[in-house]
Homo-oligomer: A and B are copies of this chain.
């Protein structure tokens, strides 16, 4: 199962997930010369992958960065995914899709078997179970996995996710934040898909910026593998994200700008950007592992 592979990768190479989210500002000088922006993204990504393959758990691609370049950008998204998987590494398509069942089926086709095939996908839970269920046949037969948004890393996350909620007929009113209702559902949906490592193919996204939520979910839902964004540029520290782990596993911590932009301001950025990325990933791994018990 792909979740067992991810668990093994964390065990052997540490919990860093490299966010391959390039943007024009992040490209080292010179990389664009004679190339379209989309081709430069692909060249940039391949060098970063080559330089980090042995020290990170997986890669995450935020599709928006590629959609912003249109059709050509999505070709770079496709080719980056193919490159990662051809190198034997694990790729997460950070697409956060969420739609009615007939549409979800199309998204599953697009991102689990089509041009944009990834190993894991992120999904948005707002539409409930029938927006998730069309992906499940791929978990059964295709070795695929999901990360469902539970509690995100952005400043506005509390606006709806932290509202205290109860089912209409609950009496007395149980005062659980919405994100815990979602976590409960994610754990339930994931029950049939627990791998040998003890974690389910249906994981959750919980931002590193809310240490309490992380600790609460790690403790309350032992089978949910966590994808933790928010490290670095968004402000979460090694100490913050440590709450996501149990026995040094059960989570990956994603960072994009902090790793792929580590070359910024360096004299030799053009030549050595992937070395800077590797050094940043190693430093991040060390910082995170220092706090993991």
Binding site for B on A (CB under 8 A): 21, 23, 62, 64-65, 67-71, 73-75, 78, 96-101, 103-104, 106-107, 109-111, 114-116, 124-131, 149, 152-168, 170, 173, 175, 177-178, 181-182, 185, 229, 234
Contacts and interface: CB of A to CB of B under 8 A. Distances in A.
A182 B96 CA distance: 19
A109 to B, nearest CB: 4
Nearest to A100: B154
B173 A160 contact: no
A25 to B, nearest CB: 11
A280 to B, nearest CB: 18
Contact of A167 (B153, B163, B181): B163
A115 to B, nearest CB: 3
Contacts of A159: 128-129, 185
The quantity of this chain's copies bound in the complex is 2
Contacts of A96: 97-99, 124
Contacts of A67: 106-107, 110-111, 114, 116
A126 B166 contact: no
Interface of A is mostly: mixed
Given A178-B160, A178-B178, A181-B163, A126 B149 contact: yes
Contacts of A166: 163-164
Given A71-B71, A106-B68, A164-B167, A131 B154 contact: yes
29 contacts: A21-B103, A64-B103, A64-B110, A67-B106, A67-B107, A67-B116, A68-B106, A73-B110, A96-B97, A98-B98, A98-B124, A100-B234, A124-B126, A126-B149, A126-B161, A127-B149, A127-B156, A128-B158, A128-B159, A128-B160, A130-B156, A131-B156, A160-B178, A162-B168, A164-B165, A164-B166, A164-B167, A164-B170, A168-B175
